[in-house]
A and B are shown apart, each in its own frame.
Chain A
Amino acid sequence: MSEDGLRAAVAAGVLASEDAHRALLQATVEVARGIFYAKASSVLLYDEETDELVFEAVAGEGSDTLVGQRLPSSTGIGGWVLVTRQPIVLDDVSQDPRFAEDAAKRTGFVPKGLMCVPLIHDEEPLGVLYVLDRPQQTRFSLEEMELLGLFGNQAAIALDLLRKARRAQAVLEDADTDSALLARVAENLEGLDGPRRAAGIELLRSLEGLFKG
Chain B
Amino acid sequence: MAEPAPERPLPAWSLPAGTAESLALPTEWPGRVTREWAWGGSTGKGVRVCILDSGVERDHPDVGGLAGAVAVQVGEDDEIAVVDDVEGDLCGHGTACAGIVRSIAPDCELHSVRVLGAGFTGSGTALLGGLRWAVEQGFHVINMSLSTTKSQFAGLLHEVADTAYFRRTVLVASAHNMPVESYPWRFSSVISVGSHEEPDAQTFYYNPSPPVEFFARGVDVEIAWLGGSRARSTGNSFATPHMTGICALILGKHPELTPFQLKSALYLTASNVEGGQ
Contact surface of A with B, Cβ cutoff 8 Å: 46, 48, 51, 72-77, 79-80, 82-93, 95-99, 117-118, 120, 123-125, 139-142, 145-146, 149-150, 152-153
Contact = CB atoms under 8 A, between A and B. Distances in A.
Contacts of A149: 177-179
B119 A142 contact: no
Contacts of A97: 226-227, 229
Interface in B160-197: 174, 176-182, 195-197
Interface of B: 54, 90-93, 116-121, 123, 127, 145-151, 174, 176-182, 195-197, 218-220, 225-227, 229-237
Contact of B150 (A51, A73, A123): A123
B145 A74 contact: no
A79 B237 contact: no
Given A51-B121, A93-B231, A84 B237 contact: yes
Contacts of A90: 225, 231-233
A142 B93 CA distance: 19
A91 B227 contact: no
B180 to A, nearest CB: 5
Secondary structure dominating the interface of A: mixed
B197 A142 contact: yes
Contact of B231 (A79, A92, A142): A92
Nearest to B147: A85
Given A88-B237, A141-B197, A74 B116 contact: yes
A95 B225 contact: yes
A72 B93 CA distance: 16
Contacts of B229: 95-97
A51 B149 contact: no
Contacts of B181: 123
Contact of B119 (A73, A84, A91, A98): A73
A74 B119 contact: yes
Q: Which 9 A-B pairs have the closest CB atoms?
A: A149-B178, A73-B120, A95-B229, A89-B234, A80-B91, A75-B90, A84-B146, A91-B232, A83-B123
Given A84-B93, A85-B180, 11 more contacts: A77-B91, A79-B120, A82-B120, A84-B145, A84-B147, A85-B176, A85-B182, A86-B237, A87-B235, A90-B232, A95-B231
